Amino acid sequence: MLGPDKRQRWQTLNVSRRDFLRGASATGAGLVIGIYGCSDDDAEDDSSSDGGIGNDGGLPPLVETVGYDELDAWVAVGDDGSIRITVHRSEMGQGVRTSMAMLVAEELCADWNDVVVQQATGDSRYGDQNTDASASVRMFYEPLRQAGAQAREMLIAAAADELGVDASELVAEDSEVKHEGSGESRTYAQLAKAAAEQDAPSGPPLKSEGDFRLIGKATKGIDACDITMGKAIYGIDAEVEGMLHASIERSPTVGGSAMSYDEEAAMAVAGVRQVIKLEPGTQGPILQEGVAVLADNTWAAMQGRRALEVQWTPASFSETTADFRVQLADAVKEAVDVQREQGDVDAALASAARTYEAEYQGPYLSHAPMEPPVALADVSNGKAEIWAPTQDPQRAAAQVALAIGLDSSDVTVHVTLLGGGFGRKSQPDFVIEAAKLSQEAGAPVKVTWTREDDTRHGFYRAESRQLLRAGLDDAGEVTALLGRSVFPSIFKIFVPAVVDPQGFELGQGWNNWPFDIANMRAESGGNRSSLRIGWWRSVCNTFHAFSVGSFIDELASETGQDTVELFKKLVGEPRMVEEGDYDLDAGRLLGVVDRVASMGLWGTDVPEGEGIGFAAHSSFQSYVACVMHVAVDSEKKLTIKAVDYAVDCGRPVNPDGIEAQVEGGLVYGLTAALYSEITVTDGVVDQGNFD
């Protein structure tokens, strides 16, 4: 690659991947710029130049070089003209730091180039901070716009006072308030102090959709350059003076306990400072017992951990995958809890010209985020300060407080960027570990999980089994549909005795089927699991969409019909399906089906060994249809040749982020389907890493 003066070439250096991304030298930075397209101006002026973390969470704490006047909980104006917008949901690649800031900036009439983002700490004043259920934009679309509009009206009121005119004569635009009659204007920076003294207006007017300048416009991630240049702060980057590094040997089975371990051997490792036994206490469903080695660096902690040679007592209950799957297969053959019923399914099946039945097995799956769990805690003087890539800082604070005997108000959780989350980091076990160790060690402690820790001690997507049976008449029309879904409930994390699936799980693609079939019944059942079950990207929608979508495709093949046309026939007319915890708009679902069917792939001829598949589903009030062209060679190697997607997620705030989400979902889904099965032997997870 040519150097900046286009005469010299860059020197080739052997650098680590991390140093490469950090751009620690001019050479490294130049190369990253060349690959990722961040200009020098982007690197200098990028709106998250504080490392992507904001003034509340920089590590080490940032030196405040700009004075800010707060107009409300979300908006502050700097004396340098910057507009600081606080984002209270966690950024894990889904783009909320950009999309949520866009909502505020739109109504604030801010110049997007002036915007910097501050990540909120865990604080109840922001409302719900649990980043899950695809709800960040959906839940806060109106409140964040109102926050921006409120700040805008306060700035206009301040300008009206200063200019001696009525507020109705003023307009806000590009971080300025202008008086069109006289041509006079004031910047937001000039008005900020006076605006902060204004009373916050109630019910400020919002823009009409036709006046949007930011919402709906494809926008580069606000911290994209910091991420690609290695400047962004993730949990693994957290550092404070005097901290110790911890590596923890955990019970291989949930509920197991340590009988013995060689503390002396661990302490003999250079750099090891302490060995601490971690007790789960009342947080047993969340926290596992472990033995932690604290050291001057991560390497020493890991070497000391290897020397422990812990002997564990097994859990009182454990499972083995082969037996567990037999239990699930038996369970779906029996009548279980009826979740939804219309017509007389039993009579319709008995009188059907023929029936078609299939069963589907879904394995446990690990989240496998690029960044395994990590947390830094400093517990001292009756306070706890935490830095962690958590999806739910308020829950993390509450659980830490419970674990170490503090009030939640005495626990501060700084949210770093998440190197992937997918539901795993909504659980606070790794945060609790760091806090308990810091309290006992009397020093800041950073807990770093390995990939093996993450794989063997996760909160997995539930293993499941579905049975689907259809009654068909002489013409091949579906007259009845019976479905049974059996899996262990996520809710056991909160109430260990719970076995059966709960309503919120069954509302994810099961008891809210979109079909208009005269005779239809959805049933469910549970099975006891020895693993910890957790939220996994789109949760129960994954195995319900898989089983129902596959069954419709098989029915089409069985009856000689086009899969898309059969799906549309079963859905029927556009209408609202108000069943379970999630209402479903059949019209929006049909809309994405029609769109994807018209995009080019569906209906084309393919040679032998290739196929084109179709599926459609509603998940958390978004509607998606997909057509995929695949090929399988003589060695059964799968190749994806082309994919068409149609997505209706409501009003798109940042189309660029939506496209990235869909592409990421495709890769994540393929990985889950082809490679990610988790199996168990006597309660111990068999897999340890990506091999």
Q: Where are the domains of the chain?
A: 68-226, 235-315+367-456, 332-366+460-650
What is each CA distance from 496 to 282, 283, 286, 534, in whole angstroms? 12, 11, 10, 13
CA dihedral 305, 307, 308, 312 (to 10 degrees): 100
pLDDT given at position 23: 53
What is each CA distance from 326 to 282, 465, 546, in whole angstroms? 33, 10, 20
pLDDT given at position 66: 85
Picking from 1-5, 214-218, 250-254, 341-345, which range would have the lowest pLDDT averaged per residue?
1-5
pLDDT given at position 581: 80
CATH number 3.30.365.10 given to 68-226: yes
Output DSSP code: residue 369: -
Prediction pTM value = 0.91
pLDDT given at position 10: 32
Angle in degrees, 0-180, between the axes of helices 586-597 and 563-571, rounded to the nearest 10: 160
Domain 235-315+367-456 fold is: Aldehyde Oxidoreductase; domain 4 (3.30.365)
pLDDT given at position 30: 34
Q: Which of 471, 466, 476, 485 is nearest to 518 (CA)?
A: 471
Percentage of residues in the chain having pLDDT higher than 90: 89
pLDDT at 29 over 50: no
- pLDDT tens digits, one per residue of 113-161: 999 999 999 999 999 999 999 999 999 999 999 999 999 999 999 999 9
pLDDT at 171 over 80: yes
Q: How far apart are CA 276 and CA 273, in angstroms?
A: 10
pLDDT at 628 over 50: yes
Confidence of residue 2 (pLDDT cuts 50, 70, 90): very low
The domains spanning 68-226 and 235-315+367-456 adopt the same CATH topology: yes
Picking from 3-12, 160-169, 438-447, 620-629, which range would have the lowest pLDDT averaged per residue?
3-12
The radius of gyration of the chain from alpha carbons, rounded to an integer in Å, stands at 28
pLDDT given at position 17: 55
pLDDT given at position 548: 98
Specify the higher pLDDT residue, 50 or 438. Answer: 438
The answer to whether the CB of 100 falls within 8 A of the CB of 222 is no
The answer to whether the CB of 448 falls within 8 A of the CB of 488 is no
Backbone angles phi, psi at 62, to 5 degrees: -70, 145
Output DSSP code: residue 200: P
Average of per-residue pLDDT across 66-81: 96
pLDDT at 57 over 60: no
| Exposure of 141 in the CB half-sphere (CA atoms within 13 A) | 15
- Verify cis geometry, omega within 30 degrees of 0, for the bond prior to 60: yes
Q: Which of 524, 477, 544 is nearest to 340 (CA)?
A: 524
CB atoms inside a 10 Å sphere around CB 662: 16
- pLDDT tens digits, one per residue of 646-670: 999 999 999 999 999 999 999 999 9
Q: How far apart are CA 263 and CA 255, in angstroms?
A: 22
CATH class of segment(s) 332-366+460-650: alpha beta
Handedness of CA 85, 98, 123, 147 (dihedral sign): positive
Q: Are strands 680-681 and 684-685 parallel, antiparallel or unpaired?
A: antiparallel
Percentage of residues in the chain having pLDDT higher than 70: 91
Extended beta strands in 549-621, E state? 576-577, 584-585, 610-619
The answer to whether the CB of 409 falls within 8 A of the CB of 379 is no
Q: How far apart are CA 404 and CA 436, in angstroms?
A: 6
Q: How far apart are CA 222 and CA 46, in angstroms?
A: 7
pLDDT at 615 over 60: yes
- pLDDT tens digits, one per residue of 503-544: 999 999 999 999 999 999 999 999 999 999 999 999 999 999
Specify the higher pLDDT residue, 55 or 676. Answer: 676
pLDDT at 40 over 70: no
pLDDT given at position 492: 93
Q: How far apart are CA 50 and CA 116, in angstroms?
A: 9
pLDDT given at position 681: 98
Q: How far apart are CA 182 and CA 625, in angstroms?
A: 54
- pLDDT tens digits, one per residue of 382-417: 999 999 999 999 999 999 999 999 999 999 999 999
Supply the mean pLDDT for the chain: 91
